[in-house]
Structures are given as C-alpha cells and as structure tokens.
Structure 1
Amino acid sequence: MAGLVSGRGSLESLLTEIATFAMLAVPGADGAGVTMLEAGQPDTIVASAQFVRDVDTIQYRLGEGPCISAAASGETNGSGALGQDASWPVFGPRAAELDVHSALSLALKVNTDVLGALNVYSHAYDAFDGSSKRIGELFAAPAAVAIHNARLLDQTLRQAARLEVALTSRSTIDQAIGIIIARSGVTSDEAFVRLRIMSQHEHIKLSLVAERLVAQAMRRARVKRSESDE
C-alpha cells in the first residue's frame, strides 16, 4: 500500500491495484473488488477477477449483499455460507450458484465518510476467520486514504480539463467577435448577438460557430498573403 502513488495512473487503475493487493493480503481470498460510491450509489467498480465482477454486479442490481450493507453501515460485513445466509435471501443463493460461498466486505472510510467498500470473496465455505477480518480492516484503512487522495486528484484534473476547454472556447469566441467587428463595424455586443443567432439558426454550439469563423478568416488571410507574394 505504501508503494502506491496517486497520480501515476487513472483512479480505476489504482483501485484495481488495491483489489489485487487485498486478494493477496487477506487469508482465504480467491478474489477481491473495490466499489466507489457516488451520491450513495455504486459508481466506479473494479475487480481482480471476472467472478468478482459478476458477484458484485448481482448485488448492485438487487440492492442487497455484504457490500451494500458495509457501505450503508460503515462496518465490516460478511458471511461464510452466502447461500444459506438470511441476511441476503436473494443475493446469497445467486452468489452460491457462481460457487462463491464466503464474503468479507470492508467499509472504506476516511474519518466518518464512507467512500465505498473493499469486497473479498472465496469459493470455500467459512473461508474468513477472525484473522482475515483483522488483516482486512488493517488493509482497508490505508487503502481508503489512498483512494480518497486519488479521487481528489482525479476530480481536480477533470475540473482543470473542463476549465481549459472553457478558456479555449472563450478565446475563440472573442476572436470571432473581433472578426465580425472588423468586417461589419458593429459593437462587440452586436457582434456577439450575431454569433449567437448563427449558432441558434444552425443548431450548433456557439464555440463551434466561432471556430469555423476563425478558420475561414485564417484561410482567407493565407490566400491573400499567397496572392501578394506572387
């Protein structure tokens, strides 16, 4: 866990590494997965094996299972005989049909905030004892911090990308307004209105209309320069 570095890859790749490490760290585990919550609902889901993804998909679709319970309560949840566990009467038998009989779901918490859950599964019955639970909880604590930091970085990078696009669009729109002013002698407000009317009339974004206008102006300028050179 200490070797994981936020920012060297995507958030999803970090979650996948954590799931893989959890499978190796928790005694009795055959596979592991990490689920991130967004507005209380499963959002980013990764798994160390396909059977883990299949099991997790079932519980999210049904809205019941150890992961759902762990995320809701902020406490560790699990079972050594999912098919017979009355806690999840629909999910349990479905998991058993996939030959998954033991589950250990560990809430990923930073302070009081539940980010999601780390889910560890086994094909064996009663695979996870007290030692597995203790090691799993020890692992989940730094994992939650790493995920929290990685998610903050991911959100920051996305916001920066959106701002960069917005600034680029604004610059292009300003250039297009300047071109209209130069051609028509109107004010900047009138030029912007003309640009907006073109956008509405053609049913395309204002920024795309501006890009096209700027590109046309550049082509005309190149042609004039070429003619003058001749």
Structure 2
Amino acid sequence: MTNELHDVQADADDLRSSLVDLAALVTGARGLPELLQLVAVYAAKAIPGADGAGVTLLRIERPDNRVEALAASDPFVAEIDEIQYVTVNEGPCITAALERRTVRSGSLGGEKMWPRFGPRVGRLGIHSALSLPLLLPGQVVGAINVYARGKDVFDDHAQELGELFAAPAAVAVHNAHTLSQAIALTSQLQTALATRPVIDEAVGLLRSRTGVTSQEARERLREMSQREHVKMIDIAQHLVDEAVRRARARHTDG
C-alpha cells in the first residue's frame, strides 16, 4: 500500500511539473515545431508508463485528414507517426480526433480498430497506445499520442492524468498555431508591400510602350512569369532594371 501511495504521489508530481512547464511556454519566443516538441516531451513525462509521445495538428474536416504539423519526443514515435499518417492513414490519433474521445490499446499487434496500423507498430516492439484529442469548444486541434513498449501499460489512472494534461495542452497548441499563421501572413503582407512598387513600375513601362491598360499589363507580366517559370516580381524587376540601363546609356551617349 505504501508503494502504491508513493507511485500515485510520484505520478501527481510528474503531472504537476509538466503542467508548470506547459504554462511557462511562451509561444512568441519559439517556433511552432519547437513548441510542439516540448509539449510532446512534457506529455511523455506527465503520463505514467509512457516511453514516448507525439503531438499532431490534424485538419479532420478534410477528406484526407491532412496533418499540418508533427512533433515527437523520441525518434521511434516519429516512425510510428509516419506509418499512421502516410502509410496506412489509420491509427489511434486519427480515431481520437475524428470521434473526439480518448482511445487506448494494450495490444496493438492484435488491435481490431486499426488492422493495418496495429500489426506494423507491434512488429516495432510497441504494444500500448493512448491517444488524447486536443479539444476546444466546437473544434478539434489535433491529438497527443503516447506509446509504450509493454502490453496493457495505460490504465484508467494513466488516462485520467493524460486528459488532465491534454486540456491545457490544447489551448497552448492552438495559440501557437494561431500565432504561427499570423506571423506567416504578416510576412506575406510585408513581401507584397515591398514588391508592389516594382510591379507598378513594370506595369507603367508596359503601358507606355504598348498602350495597354493596367489590367492587361499585369496579365502580360503574369503570362511572362508562367512562361519563363520565373516569379512575377523578378520579371518586373528585370524590366525596370533594363529600362534604367537604357536610360543611362542614352544619357551617356547624349
């Protein structure tokens, strides 16, 4: 009984420590891949019996259950995720996300829920899995996948601790993903703002040379870009640079 109480206390301490680490993550200071990997590491620490864990961002509204991002605490987890998402497109994470419920297995090699996934993973020496959906109101962010080499490793206690960890983890992962998308959009807008003057100059050059409208000039730039397999901004920059070179040559000759 004393050992059991010690184990329960140790599990509670591990969960508490992992939640403290999770709360300390500052999404702005890390990229999405690094943050997801840290969440995976903390999950493996928080759930008793885990040999490794992975975090998946999964778009389940798409027919192919498209994976947006993956992270693993250990290389063997990455190998399992490759099987799940690329090779067979079935497994505990996909089930957990689609059905919005925790799923677990203690004998993956003979698991009937995933007849293609289970045997492949069992042959790798991984027999237990616990998958926890990352849920927000009205939304599935993805899932945490926890694996162990032994059979029947994850019991009700492990599942309870996993679900306690998954709730704040869903918020952290969602916030990190949202921030990552915002940063990418900002970068795209900055690029667009930086390239627009050059494209406008190229449009003006084409209009003065050919008498076409602004829309027709832009379409010509687009056609040149596609035909030459060169970015539109590079085509525009070349036209502007060439016009400047010719103007300077005429000035020198004069």
Give the alignment's TM-score, normalised by structure 2: 0.78
- 2:4 alignment counterpart: none
Matches within 5 A, 1:70-149: 70-149=96-175
Counterparts of 2:201 and 2:139, CA distance in 1: 46
Q: Does 1:28 align with 2:54?
A: no
How many residue pairs get matched? 224
Give 2:201's match in structure 1, choosing from 166, 171, 175: 175
Counterparts of 2:206 and 2:115, CA distance in 1: 68
Q: Does 1:11 align with 2:11?
A: no
Contact kept in structure 2, 1:105 and 1:117, CA below 8 Å: yes
Counterparts of 2:189 and 2:215, CA distance in 1: 21
- 2:76 alignment counterpart: 51
Q: Which runs of 5+ in 2 are unaligned?
A: 1-21
Q: For the aligned residues, what is the CA RMSD?
A: 2.5
Counterparts of 2:137 and 2:217, CA distance in 1: 53
Counterparts of 1:53 and 1:140, CA distance in 2: 20
AA at the equivalent of 1:50:
P
Deviation at 1:98, TM superposition (A): 0.5
Q: Give CA-to-partner distance per residue, 1:172-215, whole Å, 9 cap, x none.
A: 1122344566x75x76x546645644653572454322211222
Give 3-state SS (helix, strand or coil) of 1:170's partner. helix
Q: Which runs of 5+ in 1 are unaligned?
A: none
AA at the equivalent of 1:69:
T
Identity across matched positions, percent:
43
Q: Give CA-to-partner distance per residue, 1:95-124, whole Å, 9 cap, x none.
A: 110010111000001112111110000011
Give 3-state SS (helix, strand or coil) of 1:7's partner. helix
Counterparts of 1:219 and 1:43, CA distance in 2: 46
Counterparts of 1:191 and 1:59, CA distance in 2: 50
